[in-house]
Amino acid sequence: MQKKRVVVTGIGPVTPLGIGKEPYWRSLMERKTGIDLVEFPNFDMEQFKTRIGAQIKDFSLDDYLPFHKGDRHMGRASQFALVGAKIALEDAKLELLPRKGVEGRYELNNLDSCKIGAILGVAVENMEIMEGSYDSLLKYGSPRRLSPFALPNVYTSSVATNATERFGIHGTTFVVSSACASASHAIATSYNKIQDGPEEMMLTGGSDACITPLTFGGFIALRAMSTRNDEPLKACRPFDMHRDGFVMGEGAGIILLEEMNHALKREAPIYAELVGCGMTADAFHIAEPDPTAISLSKAISQALAMGGVEPKDIDYINPHGTSTPLNDSTETKAIKRVFGDYAYQIPISATKSMVGHLLGAAGGVEAIVITLTMKHGMIHPTINYEFPDPECDLDYVPDGPREKTVRTALSISAGFGGVNCVLLFKAFEP
């Protein structure tokens, strides 16, 4: 039996560069960066070896959604996911109606709510709630001062369930957590769900808000983050010789996947078709990628094979491109393994150079980039690429936006623990 075809009909980026597709895309084209110095109240930032990140400043859920009493207890990652979901649903031309008798909640008009689900990626739970609750426990020496709403909103699953509750979604709902590949794994899982299951639509992608003292400090202890505190705008420099670590970001990248015939029947906008995915594990180290790049290259090959696409047909790659010494060289090696000499002809641009590393949301905001690249026929640059590295010698689009028709593109994600996920998109043809 022929598999169902799956298309992207709505996108909802919530990023340090902008919220919504127009501000996000415009900032990428203008080579802007969302990276700057961060501050934690009640902490001496001089004690933090890294003091830079990509924050979404002046964010308020009230600016995007009507108030609901549960909002005050919700974690930041859940809030980002809600906003991204609303933007994606509306972008897909779905009508959100106020739910009768329930303040601040919606239902989707003219849809079977059991045939739309939500599978989202989250790398780290709502840590600001966890950290605040633990501080309260230590301060008062008793659990009596803990909020009864804290634990339900700390669960990673709350990022998805808050969205389904808000928009009246009754289909398959859960969270995928696979470190920096979480959003891509969520998209791949949603893709398979539409192909094989009863759902016709899946809200997917990822959300994370990890710029908190404990999470930030933990990554500093790992020596994984850039310490270029004197030049925050130049700190994230994927594939550059002088890269010294990733820059943590926050936000959400939410997309709506839809079965093709369902989308065509309701005359939905179609950005691209998702045609394949590849998933492997390095089985090498809890934090470092396998330097042979064998497993990552196999994930790329799996995605190509599933989509029936030859390596020479790839027009663009959006890489993981974290700006860490090991990841960038390993990823370059994986691309060369699969594409051979043709690797030097493929434009490769790293979104993280401008938005930072959104951890569990990274694959979502990068998949959105591919849909917009196909729509506009433009490739955004990799900024801060100034000093070529002999181990990273491909075309990273360093000089500025590049005009190019992109019909087939890959999004590569590679998370801590060696979890790899590659997504293959094609320009849609009915």
Provide the annotated active-site residues: 180, 320, 357
Amino acid at 240: D
Place of tokens 């360093």: 398
Q: How far apart are CA 295 and CA 258, in angstroms?
A: 30
What distance in Å separates the CA atoms of residue 407 and residue 316, rounded to the nearest whole number? 8
CA distance 127 to 76: 9
CA dist 131 and 118 (Å) reads 27
Sign of CA dihedral 37, 42, 45, 51: negative
Give CA–CA dist 419/428, Å, rounded: 29
The CB-based long-range contact list for 266-270 (8 Å cut-off, 24+ gap) reads 266/93, 267/93, 268/9, 268/10, 268/92, 268/93, 269/9, 269/10, 269/91, 269/92, 269/93, 270/7, 270/8, 270/9, 270/428
Q: Which amino acid is at 193?
A: K
Q: Assess contact for 382 and 353: CB atoms under 8 A.
A: yes
- 14: tokens are 């919530």
Residues 359, 208: contact at Cβ < 8 Å? yes
Q: From the CB of residue 164, how many other CB atoms can be counted at a distance below 10 Å?
A: 20
203: helix, strand or coil: strand
Pairwise CA distance, residues 326 & 320, whole Å: 12
Positive or negative CA dihedral for 34, 318, 363, 130? Answer: negative
Count CB-CB contacts under 10 A for residue 140.
11
Q: Tell me the pairing of strands 316-318 and 408-415.
A: parallel
Distances (CA, A) of 230 to 51, 235, 290: 9, 9, 32
Q: Residue 28 corresponds to which tokens in the numbers above?
A: 């990428």
The closest of 255, 265, 344, 326 to 290, measured between CA atoms, is 326
